[in-house]
Structure 1
Amino acid sequence: MSKRPLILVTNDDGITAPGIRTLISVMKEIGDVVVVAPDSPQSAMGHAITINSTLHVEKVVIDNGSQIEYSCSGTPADCVKLAVREVLDRKPDLCVSGINHGSNSSINVIYSGTMSAALEAGIESIPAIGFSLLDYNWGANFEHCKSFVKTITSNVLEHGLPDGVVLNVNLPNVEKKDIKGIKVCRQARANWEEEFDKRTNPMGREYYWLTGKFVNMDNGEDTDEWALEHNYVSIVPVQFDLTAHHAIQQLNSWDFGA
């Protein structure tokens, strides 16, 4: 009988979020699960790590689950670092992050704590996947995500991933019967047109709320935004090597003097 894979589960919405509870339930069907996740929401933390204050990790029991769970005071990236260096007695076979409450498609991947946890695992040479559902509601229904999460995870465990690559998976917020399938895509060229809502508190001090509108400038039919708009699950392979390799030749043609 083959040994069950060891799966590290984390997220950025916090260890009690419905999305991670769903992800845990699916992973328990596939392997042995250890959870190390933030003790409070850490959305849009990007790849922040804690260096100027202490970190705390506490073993917890949630939902009377049989899996081992730890609540961490740090960021999603902290959770993965602590899991690999302190919590686990061996490197996990897989790290899954999510299921995030809200989109991490296109440019959102840059800001995402969910994907930063997956990328941190990738840096440690652990195959990793970030899962997100296009529903920001805390009470979102994740039931239709389960079969797709299981299928994608099983494929990663069977085939592995290219060196330096992790998967960014986004699921449309529609009923399962309306999902047309899974598409491997590129990241759409899009951004946020941001504004700050300026206000004044009762003490006369000004403060700001960040607001904005997501603008997709990409008309391609091979992007994650196109796939999600047309009710496909999108998979974008992403990398933590940020080198713009295509620009090296051009920069080498410049005159930098001596």
Structure 2
Amino acid sequence: MKKPLILVTNDDGITAPGIRALIKYMKDIGDVVVVAPDGPQSGQGHAITIDNTLYANKIVVDEKQGAPEEYSCTGTPADCVKMALQELLDRKPDICVSGINHGSNSSINVIYSGTMSAAIEAGIEGVPAIGFSLCDYSWNADFGQAEEIIKKIVSESLENGIPKGVVLNVNIPKAAKKDLKGIKVCRQARANWKEKFDKRTSPAGKDYYWLTGEFELLDKGEDTDEWALANNYVSIVPTQFDLTAHHAIQQLNGWQFE
């Protein structure tokens, strides 16, 4: 049987340890093509490049035998998926996996995430997609702890299919493999960032600002991704890109527009 074609991307850059681990895991499942940013693109959300040229250079990062086909793209994570689907691949991938991100993309972080935006872009184009994140910002994080879980989630997605219009947001707690309790399908926790700008002065005497902030959890529910992660479960949140607030339509129809 023909192996599934797996598109791998991320937002930390094509040489980041997280994507190198994900490529390794996916090679055990199918044929891998990598299209990823040439440098860090964290926090880009669903930005696309419309005011500059884009380049996609075929490169070799891993010279070991059986190295996958890889392209380093000058654009954003969403650009990478667009380039892959429209220009670089000779057939539609069976699944797109994005990550493994260095750091959490749970709760409200999904809005800002380049990792998830790449997966969402694939979903918009009708490609089943998953974003993977490890709740460890260290460049030397241990991604191997979740290898079996990641392979299981991808294999189940290929076998059963991801619901139409849905992308999976998978977050993995920072915990030893022996301490992981399993997988929970969750809802996105209600939270926000309590932000402020650190005002500084450059050597030239000009004021500049550095964004800082603290994550503020506003949700006590035990069915959320934040609860799952805090209790050493891998969280899966089915995420949709239809942003319509369907529950508000009836109320708005009651307004007097004329």
What band does the TM-score fall into relative to the shorter chain? over 0.9
Aligned to 1:223: 224
Aligned to 2:162: 161
One-letter amino acid matched to 1:152: I
CA distance in 2, matches of 1:116, 1:109: 8
Aligned to 2:72: 71
CA distance in 2, matches of 1:149, 1:82: 25
Aligned to 1:91: 92
Give the 5 Å matches for 1:55-66: 55-65=54-64, 66=67
Q: CA deviation at 1:72?
A: 0.2
CA distance in 2, matches of 1:181, 1:151: 11
One-letter amino acid matched to 2:10: N
Aligned to 1:178: 179
Give the 5 Å matches for 1:175-254: 175-254=176-255
Q: CA deviation at 1:141?
A: 1.0
Q: CA deviation at 1:145?
A: 1.4
Q: CA deviation at 1:104?
A: 0.1
| Residue 47 (str. 1) matches residue 46 (str. 2) | yes
Which sections of structure 2, spanning at least 5 residues, go unmatched? Answer: none
CA distance in 1, matches of 2:159, 2:246: 30
| Residue 101 (str. 1) matches residue 120 (str. 2) | no
CA distance in 2, matches of 1:120, 1:145: 25
Secondary structure at 2:193 match in 1: strand
CA distance in 1, matches of 2:136, 2:63: 27
Aligned to 1:24: 23
Q: CA RMSD in A?
A: 0.5
Q: CA deviation at 1:239?
A: 0.6
Q: CA deviation at 1:162?
A: 1.0
Aligned to 1:256: 257
One-letter amino acid matched to 1:245: H
| Residue 37 (str. 1) matches residue 36 (str. 2) | yes
CA distance in 2, matches of 1:14, 1:225: 26
Q: CA deviation at 1:59?
A: 0.4
CA distance in 2, matches of 1:33, 1:15: 14
CA distance in 2, matches of 1:44, 1:108: 9
Percent identity between the two aligned chains: 73
**TM-score, length-scaled by structure 1:** 0.99
Deviations 1:117-138 (A, max 9, x none): 0000000000000000000111
CA distance in 1, matches of 2:140, 2:148: 19
CA distance in 2, matches of 1:184, 1:161: 13
Aligned to 1:15: 14
**TM-score, length-scaled by structure 2:** 0.99
Secondary structure at 1:107 match in 2: helix
Aligned to 2:115: 114
Give the ranges of 4+ consecutive aligned residues of structure 1 lying more than 4 Å apart after TM superposition: none
Deviations 1:130-160 (A, max 9, x none): 0000001111111101111000000000001
CA distance in 1, matches of 2:206, 2:138: 31
Q: CA deviation at 1:175?
A: 0.2
Q: CA deviation at 1:64?
A: 1.2
